[in-house]
Amino acid sequence: MKLTRLRVCHEVDQRLIHLKARTGLTPNLLCRIGLCLSLNDPAVPNPELYPR
């Protein structure tokens, strides 16, 4: 399976824009870092904490 596009909600999009302004990192790179940090966390995520 090849992932070419990841869709995020409006709230996440706004957070990525804010982080890009503060850090200078692109949203693509910020999402990659977030994915790596998430995979490194041994805890099971609670789906109720995330919007659909």
Which pLDDT belongs to residue 4? 81
Domain ranges of the chain: 10-49
Residue ranges of alpha helices (H) inside the chain are 10-23, 27-40
Q: Does residue 32 contact residue 3 with C-beta atoms inside 8 Å?
A: no
4 exposure class (CB count in 10 Å sphere: 0-12, 13-18, 19+): exposed
Structure tokens at 12: 């996440």
pLDDT (tens digit per residue) in 1-52:
787 887 888 988 999 999 999 999 999 999 999 999 999 999 988 889 877 6
* Joined tokens for residue 11: 């709230």
